Each structure stands twice: as C-alpha cells, then as structure tokens.
Structure 1
C-alpha cells in the first residue's frame, strides 16, 4: 500500500479542513477563510493519499513570502533564506505508517534546490516528546523558543540545514535543469508561477 504525495486539489479543501481540525492540540485550528488564504498563498501545498483516501497534508512557504504567522516572522527576523513548514497533519489512523516521513522527504526534495535551510516549530506541551523525536531523527535542531502571540502557545523553533543547496547553487545558479521532478509544481502558487498566471 503505497503513499502518493501530490498537489492539493481545490475541491479537497473541505477534507483538508476537517483533517486539520481533528488533529488535536499540536495543530492550531483553522476556519475555511484561513485555509483558503493558505491555499492561495502557500508555495507548497501537498496532500498524501493512501489506499485512495486522504492521509494528510503539508503546507510550506519560502522565506520571502508575505505570511502573517508570528512563528514565520520569528524565523525571518533571524535567518535570511529558508523554507518554512507552516503545518503538517497526518490523519490519526495513518500515524506511524510513514506518511510524515514521505511528506518531509518530498518537501526536502523541493526545498533543497531553492533554500539553504528548512524551518518549523513544535508546540511544547506534555505530549511533544514523540514529535520532537521525529523531527530530531530527521535532522532538525532547536534554535530557540517562541510564544505565539496569536495563540499564547510556546513552541520550539527548529531548523535543518539542507546540505545539497550550496552545491546546487554553485553548479546551476538559478538555471535549474528542466526536468519534471524539478519543475513540477508543489502547490497552487508554484503552478501559477510556472504557467505565468501568478500576480
């Protein structure tokens, strides 16, 4: 039973919203308007399918995005270039089955050609140890803590260096090869940029 990671489709936003709001205290709740805003502005917005059903989603932004998250701003005040994972949600029945790792591998394959680091946060509460362990095993390290002004939640701020980025920049500059695995959009904004319809 394989995991397929692909771009979200607009008609799936209701299902994404339900997944997000069923995720529990490790993810901030969303309403439909906020999810629509993320859909229209995220650089990376992908879902995972397993056995034909939605198993989760991941939303990401580049460091130059106009994103209003206080955690994103915390990173931008300290780091010039990074790819920020705004949220990752895996359906409860799919946790521990490799969906999270599939998302992070896909997001890293996108980010390491474009950014020197990946950033994310983990809410610090009594149940955060497994999530911190997961991120630590994937190469993330804590670089500080931040209390989110919009939610009053303390988060561990995590960064991961992307070792391939420097070699890619030194070798190709901004002229990446036109290979499908490189040029394939990873969300609505990326798709519009490739087709020339992004404002």
Structure 2
C-alpha cells in the first residue's frame, strides 16, 4: 500500500476541490476558479495517490510569486526568501496513515534546493493540537500569529530553516543539475496545450 506523490493533472481538479471542501474547519473552502488559479500559478501543486485513489494534495508558492493570500503577505512582509505551503489536505479516511508525512518530505526536498526557509500556518481556533504537534515534529517553530481579515481566523505562523539550502546555493550557484527530480514543476492547462498544438 504505497503512497505516490506526483504532480496534479488538470482532470483531477474537481476531485481536489471536493477534498478541500470536505476537510472541515481546519482549512478554508475553495471554489472551482480558485483551484484552477492554483493549477495555473502555483509553483508546487501535487497530489497523493494511494491504492489508485486520490488521498490528498498540497499547494505551495515561492516568495516571489505575488500570491494573494493574507498569510502569504504576512510572511512576505517579514522574510525576504521562503517557500510557502498554502494548504495541505489529506482525505479523512487516509489521516494518520503517513500521507501528510510523505507530502512534507516531498515539499521539503523541493524547497530546500531553492529557498532557505519553509513557511506555513495552522489555524488555532478549531482543535489545533494535532496539527501543531505534526509541524513541531518537522522542526517548524512559531514566528508569530495572524488574524486573517474577512474570515477572522487566528493562525499560528510557522517557519522552518532548510539547512541544506546554503550548501546547495554555494555548490550550484542557482544552476541545479538537469535531472527529473530537480526540474521546476510546471502545469500546462489543456487550453494552453490546445493553443500551442502540444
């Protein structure tokens, strides 16, 4: 029963939307337009597959992305260079089975080649202890709190130093080797494929 982490496919966006909106109060709801916007713009948008079924997803943005989240803006005002986990959702039947840990191992291996820090938040108003413990086990530390305007949700703002980044930066000077696992992840919408004939 292995977990496969891979780039999302456009035809899976409706399933991603359903996963998100069934996740409960620990995650903000999305609409179809927002999920498609993530697909078009996110630097990292991957899904977990277990036993041939979608088990979760993770969306992330680098610090230069201009992402329009107030939590992202909070980090951007305080830190010059980071990778931001916008959201991670694991299907309720898959929680506690290692999917979240597999995602965090994958996103860290992506981010530590490109950014010195990994940022995320945990909502504090709806039984946050399991999520805080999970993030603490990955060496995240609270660097502040933020109340999200509009929804009035209080979030613990978490940051993790990526200790491999200085070595990668010094060794490769921004020119990573061209291998499958170091290439930037880019998603090509079907509309763009049609217009370019690919």
Cα displacement string for residues 60-82 of structure 1 (whole angstroms, at most 9, x for unaligned residues): 00000021000000000000000
Q: 1:58 maps to which residue? A: 58
* Structure 1 residue 179: Cα displacement: 1.7
Give the TM-score taking structure 2 as reference length. 0.93
Deviation for aligned residue 1:150? 3.1
> Structure 1: any 5+ residue segments left out of the alignment?
190-196
**TM-score normalised by L of structure 1:** 0.93
Runs of 4+ residues over 6 Å off in structure 1: none
Matches within 5 A, 1:78-117: 78-117=78-117
Deviations 1:160-199 (A, max 9, x none): 000000000011111111122112x43417xxxxxxx9xx
Q: Helix, strand or coil: the match of 2:85?
A: strand
Looking at structure 2, the residues matched to 186 and 107 of structure 1 have their Cα atoms a distance apart, in angstroms, of 11
Partner of 1:155: 155
Mapped pair 1:70 → 2:75: no
Offset from partner CA, 1:109-164 (integer Å, 9 cap, x none): 00000000000000002410000000000110000000001311000000000000
Unmatched 5+ residue regions in structure 2?
Answer: 189-195
Alpha-carbon distance in structure 1 between the residues aligned to 2:76 and 2:150? 17
* Aligned residue in 2 for 1:25: 25
Count of aligned pairs between the two proteins: 189
Pairing of 1:167-178 with structure 2 (within 5 A): 167-178=167-178
- 2:8 aligned with 1:8, yes or no? yes
